[in-house]
Amino acid sequence: DLRTDAEQGRIYLPQEDLARFGYSEHDLLTQTYSSAFTELMRFQCNRARAYYRKASHAAEQLPVEDRRALTVAEIMRGVYARILDRIERSEYRVYDARVGLAPPYRLAIATGIWLRSLLPG
């Protein structure tokens, strides 16, 4: 949660990414929106999705019983992918309000992934 971290003076985004997009620590800590911020967030979302794809591809290569052991990780991926969708739809307005999912929606995602994990192959 970028807003909460900024409010507590914490920065977890890589310095090289901030520099690459011309978005300063001061900008982050003061929760400043700009075109640099938008490009930085777009990059971070794309990076996260690339990691999710790599993880899913790697999991698909495993035997079924090993894939089932990763069900909780897949549920987390599913939830966080939906949160990324919302961040993107909000045009990266993450300082305005916390972006999340209601518990029933999280439960629906978890149930769907869990049920798919029970299918053979």
**The domain containing residue 87 runs over which residues?**
2-117
Nearest 5°: CA angle at 84, between 51 and 53? 25
Residue 106: give its domain's CATH number: 1.10.600.10
Instruction: Work out the pLDDT band at 119, boundaries 50, 70, 90.
Output: confident
What digits encode the pLDDT tens for the residues 68-86?
899 999 999 999 999 999 9
Rg (CA), the chain: 17
Can you give the pTM of this predicted structure? 0.88
Look at the chain and report how many structural domains it folds into: 1
Separation CA 99–CA 106 (nearest Å):
13
pLDDT recorded at residue 60: 87
Separation CA 44–CA 12 (nearest Å):
12
User: Are the C-beta atoms of 75 and 114 separated by less than 8 Å?
Assistant: yes
